[in-house]
């Protein structure tokens, strides 16, 4: 008999269910847009409607489905520095921005940089290739779409709690491996650490709250290191099965961010990926998404094993991101 339990929570949803819910898709009102325009123009007036909206967003991310899509942020006439400034302001009202590089970068541009695969600067977000389902090294990730690709680049999101429940119902023998630690290699741009790897679980439950953390590419790189043991066949099968379940059309939800759309995801209860895309030939039209890594004040407690990689594991603490070099 399994010692693991079904996750009974609003965060355990399937794709069709999410598409029929209205609690996570938000269209900005005239009041919101007026307050955002005031911020853009440098007007320091209070923004009560926007503040209330983002407070509700924080609650949905932590205690609801873990995903919020805010439509039609008025960024169409902004240049890149202005768009970064307004996105930083909005994301900062969700929580503390944490660094996405050892150099302290708080807003990261997701776009094809044209790096070759063996270039140490290359990261999945700055290519145009399809990504696998994963979570990022933060509590909440935010994306603001500035320009969409000519074709492709669809967003797919899935509930990691729903994947957990599916495994428990259908392949319970795999669950125990996912609650055990896996090795992760540090990212090639994450250079501010004593060791080149860390160890943390895929699934965990801490103080009654579920958490999932998965970035397969860094796991595979770790197990290729000569100083670490090989991944077992059971561990590999468990990881392969997560991707298979997440890829099922019944499990995930697919959509495409348009310019001005802001997507927030709780990384502990969702996984996300992006399809391959084809860009416009003109440089000024190429796909461009701004990304923020955020640590909200209402974040959950996580397994103490995450302390090494995240800097802290206790609820309500600023954590995640990359340490300075």
**pLDDT per residue as tens digits for the range 138-186:** 999 999 999 999 999 999 999 999 999 999 999 999 999 999 999 999 8
* pLDDT digits 0-9 by tens, 191-249: 767 788 999 999 999 999 999 999 999 999 999 999 999 999 999 999 999 999 999 99
Q: How confident is the model at residue 323 (pLDDT cuts 50, 70, 90)?
A: confident
Given pLDDT bands bounded at 50, 70 and 90, which one contains residue 31?
A: very high
Averaged pLDDT for residues 273-279? 93
- Domains of the chain in start order, with CATH, are 15-307 (3.60.130.10)
What pLDDT score was predicted for residue 13? 97
pLDDT band at 117 (very low <50, low <70, confident <90, very high): low
**Over the chain, what is the mean pLDDT?**
92
- Is pLDDT larger for residue 325 or for residue 291? 291
For 21-25, 52-56, 157-161, which range has the lowest pLDDT when averaged over its residues? 21-25
The confidence score (pLDDT) of residue 195 equals 82
Q: What is the 3-state secondary structure (H, E, C) of the chain?
A: CCCCCCCCCCCCCCHHHHHHCCCCEEECCHHHHHHHHHHHCCCCCCCHHHHHHHHHHHHHHHHCCCEEEEECCCCCCCCHHHHHHHHHHHHHCCCEEECCCCCCCCEEEECCCCCCCCCCCCCHHHCCCCCCCECCCCCEEEEEEEECCCEECCEEEEEHHHHHHHHHHHCHHHHHHHCCEEEEECCCCCCCCCCCEEEEECEEEECCEEEECCCHHHHHHHHCCCCCCCCCHHHHHHHHHHHHHHHCCCCCEEECCCCCCEEEEECCCEEEEECCEECCCCHHHCCEEEEEEEECCCCCCCCHHHHHHHCCCCCCCCCCCCCCC
Question: Which has the higher per-residue pLDDT, 209 or 323?
Answer: 209
- If pLDDT is split at 50, 70 and 90, which confidence band does 1 have? very low
Residues above pLDDT 70, as percent of the chain:
95
Overall pTM surpassing 0.85 (yes/no) = yes
Position 188 scores a pLDDT of: 72
| Residue 74 or 43, more confident | 74
For residue 54, what pLDDT is reported?
A: 97
Q: Looking at residue 120, what is its pLDDT?
A: 56
pLDDT at 22: 86
4 has a pLDDT exceeding 70? yes
Residue 267: predicted pLDDT: 98
């Amino acid at each position: 008999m399994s010692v693991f339990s079904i996750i009974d929570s609003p965060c355990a949803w399937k794709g069709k269910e999410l598409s029929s819910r209205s609690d996570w898709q938000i269209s900005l009102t005239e009041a919101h847009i007026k307050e955002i325009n005031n911020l853009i123009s440098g007007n320091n007036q209070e923004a009560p409607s926007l503040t209330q909206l983002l407070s509700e967003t924080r609650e949905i991310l932590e205690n609801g489905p873990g995903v919020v899509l805010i439509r039609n942020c008025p960024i169409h006439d902004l240049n890149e520095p202005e768009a970064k400034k307004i996105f930083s302001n909005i994301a900062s009202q969700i929580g503390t921005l944490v660094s996405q590089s050892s150099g302290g970068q708080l807003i990261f541009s997701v776009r094809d940089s044209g790096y070759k695969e063996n270039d140490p600067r290359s990261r999945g977000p700055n290519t145009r290739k399809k990504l696998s389902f994963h979570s990022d090294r933060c509590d909440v990730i935010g994306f603001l779409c500035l320009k969409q690709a000519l074709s492709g680049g669809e967003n797919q999101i899935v509930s990691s709690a729903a994947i957990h429940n599916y495994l428990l119902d259908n392949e319970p023998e795999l669950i125990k491996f996912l609650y055990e630690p896996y090795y992760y290699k540090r990212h090639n741009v994450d250079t501010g650490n004593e060791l080149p790897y860390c160890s943390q679980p895929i699934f965990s439950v801490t103080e009654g709250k579920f958490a999932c953390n998965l970035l397969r590419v860094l796991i595979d790189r770790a197990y290729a290191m000569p100083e670490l043991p090989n991944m077992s066949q059971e561990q590999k099968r468990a990881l392969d099965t997560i991707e298979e379940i997440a890829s099922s059309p019944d499990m995930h939800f697919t959509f495409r961010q348009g310019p001005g759309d802001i997507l927030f995801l709780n990384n502990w209860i969702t996984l996300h990926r992006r399809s391959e895309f084809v860009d416009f030939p003109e440089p000024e039209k190429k796909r461009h998404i701004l990304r923020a890594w955020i640590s909200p004040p209402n974040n959950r407690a996580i397994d103490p094993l995450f302390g090494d990689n995240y800097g802290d594991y206790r609820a309500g603490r600023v954590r995640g991101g990359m340490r300075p070099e």
